[in-house]
Chain A
């Protein structure tokens, strides 16, 4: 399967409603061959619905899906040759690990089905790939969560899928196993080079594993970009708030100036629409200076240390309370009055 050219996926204007709930509200997405794309969003954002429609497990109300340029909606899940890994694995409980992985090979039409020796060899190869060949005689109930997840992946890969779709692949695992599997998934993807999409609500996971991140909210795509892109240049207020920790301050844009409450801030307002807006700043982008310097002034309420940074709760002179992360080279103490200058910030209308 390594010698095959990876397949592209394209969806156009997908709409899907469940009763009165709009799960997908006009979604367009293009995935290039060999990409590892994360669909990131809160629950109810439509990311799993989108994945299921690509897999052929759900059908859109309108819109188009193309896999490798072919109209996928004309095919059922069976014909699409899509590997799907379910959030709760959906392993066959009455089959051993070996038989689970072999399932996709055994149900192939007789004309293309491998013989028993061929199936054995292929399953062995896949179990080696997920590093679990020593478990082949166990039943799924005897495995840990991480092992089940890897078996589910091996099972999906057995049919040499054209694309690989993973629904919250690490959602049900504990934090440590999750971190290990993330790295493992990324290197596995590198090795097998199959166009892959995975769904997650965990921004860290999306940023660490994917080479492109699709941020979704309320059935729409908010932003598509590289992990750096969505973190550093969030396109919308939602993306800024959802990815990374943000300080959000209600501001007013008027006459080319930005005001917080009744105080004008020393910030450029060029190109901003006048009216009520929200200002987003990353916690670590608030630089601490002496009182009077910077756009804000405030009093430190209390300070806690988190490894290399100190997290300070600061009451701004306008009344708002924010949390900032400052390097520990300059010790902050409760009661200090400090000036704060946002090194990077974004202002979104509304």
Chain B
């Protein structure tokens, strides 16, 4: 009976695809990560702790995670507004703007870094007027923040866009005819419906910003303890042949990222359980 049922499975190829999936994910993701952990085991717990609690490491982690979170939050707000304009209104050049959103996806990060640096340098188009106001962007943490915003924006836009497109404008009309103000409609109806997608976009933009290297190192100035990001510190340690130090920082980044992504994932699930599929 069960053999018959197995043979009659409507979608054949389960064994093959499942096997390929597991081996591929192991080779590409799991084994390198395990290697990372193993390498960090060469350190005694005390050494591990000393590396992590050094001022430079802590500052680098703080810069990376703190600015990544700030940048992802800005992207969440601005990305939502951009999505709203792109989805809800028809204006000349809409398609062009829609395509421009993808530029940070496609641009080599080093190119982005050079472009941003040139723009925000003290003599650059934006850097000069900002410098006149006393704001320095290039070669400061603000520069890192700007670069992280730049590379994160498409993640928010592209995750929220399809969900907003699916959101029936009739529910806004319904809210309005029930007496809700525009603001109440946004807070009580639109945002809750978009919440799972917004959280996904936030998580993706954050993850991307934490891991960003290419565009940031050009604009950051890379001053230890001030504008040095954790990935750069890893590279520096590697170039000093301090492999264990590098892996220790990497492991911490991995664990923290994992915890944050996991937390966002739970949050997302919770939000989605309140917005069941149609």
Contacts and interface: CB of A to CB of B under 8 A. Distances in A.
A binds B: yes
Interface of A: 55-57, 76-78, 80-84, 86, 88, 90-95, 103-104, 106-108, 139, 141-142, 155-156, 158-159
B192 interface: yes
A141 B272 CA distance: 13
Contact of B179 (A88, A94, A108, A142): A108
A56 B174 CA distance: 11
Contacts of B173: 57, 77, 84, 86, 90
B276 interface: yes
B276 A77 contact: no
Contacts of A104: 178-180
A107 B189 CA distance: 11
A93 B177 contact: no
A42 to B, nearest CB: 22
A156 B178 CA distance: 7
Contacts of B181: 78, 107
A257 B176 CA distance: 59
B171 to A, nearest CB: 5
A93 B278 contact: yes
B277 interface: yes
Interface string B249-278: 000000000000000000000000011111
Q: Which 8 A-B pairs have the closest CB atoms?
A: A104-B178, A90-B170, A90-B174, A94-B275, A107-B180, A141-B276, A84-B177, A94-B192
Contacts of B46: none
A42 B274 CA distance: 39
A220 B210 CA distance: 63
Given A78-B179, A103-B180, A155-B178, A142 B189 contact: no
Interface of B: 168, 170-171, 173-181, 184, 188-189, 192-193, 195, 274-278
B241 to A, nearest CB: 54
Nearest to B183: A107
A279 to B, nearest CB: 44
Contacts of A80: 177
A300 to B, nearest CB: 51
B178 A103 contact: yes
A139 B176 contact: no
Contacts of A57: 173, 176-177
Contacts of B171: 90-93
A77 B176 contact: yes
Which of B178, B195, B277 lies at the interface centre, i.e. has the most chain A CB atoms within 10 A of its CB?
Answer: B178
A229 to B, nearest CB: 32
B255 to A, nearest CB: 33
Contacts of B174: 84, 86, 90-92, 155
Contact of A83 (B177, B189, B192): B177
A155 B177 CA distance: 11
B57 to A, nearest CB: 43
Contacts of B184: 107
Contacts of B277: 141
A83 B173 CA distance: 11
Nearest to B176: A77
Contacts of A83: 177
Given A86-B170, A86-B173, A90-B174, A107 B179 contact: yes
Contacts of A142: 276
Contacts of B168: 88, 90
Nearest to B172: A90
A142 B274 CA distance: 12
19 contacts: A55-B177, A57-B177, A77-B176, A77-B177, A78-B176, A78-B180, A81-B179, A88-B170, A91-B174, A92-B175, A94-B274, A103-B175, A103-B180, A104-B178, A107-B175, A107-B178, A139-B276, A141-B276, A156-B178
